[in-house]
Structure 1
């Protein structure tokens, strides 16, 4: 009898875990659908605009809300092999961000961004952890539409991975985003 109870309990736990992953995917799809309703240009139109600016191959595209601005975020491998991140405004079709994604430029841009920061990485991490309790896994300075932010990656206590953007000048939370692993979807 004990074996049946333990087996039933194990099946319940496994099924519950599966539900969590399926539920996260459903929520992400619902979020994408809601953002798509607000977009005035299609993903195909945005892709054409992005590839005119950075010719190459699109590795990934996501519709995101960046501080109230709905954008298509692109990861593009350029014809020269370099990786580029590019954001296209989903309402106007305007390119709002183009960023090289190579390690050599990261060091230079990190130094430039660090000069503009008024708070430390530790202070940004503390502020982020007040919003999303958990363990900080990475902190990086970034330029978000002209605003210098710390991108604080957190393994949250609820088991999710979240990205918290902290204004590098004021320390205020700018954005909290649930990280999803779309690359592993079947």
Structure 2
């Protein structure tokens, strides 16, 4: 399985100056789908293979002005970077991250990194990391 870090590094290299919005492991870890956003709110999608090579994209996701404005707000308000969130989760939950996304919850009051972790015993653990404070909450 390509490492999460390798997939993100390849995607960020392909779209310089962007911010990670989400990453999803697919095909049993053989492929990572990465969604990035530019400072203008333009979203781009890429697929990175197990070797850490971009195999698809980047392609622009046409979302319209309202969604671009929403994404720009998320980017501006998130104080915890993707890398910070990965480190926070990795130090608290043992396993492999299979999905991460940055989004607002609770009627837009809470900006979090929503994370899925596959634990060594094969169970799933959901975790949320507050993108402003770094507070980690495990889902029951």
Larger RCO, structure (CA 8 Å, separation 6 or more): 2
Higher strand share: 2
TM-score by length of 2: 0.48
Larger helix percent? 1
- Normalising by structure 1, what TM-score? 0.37
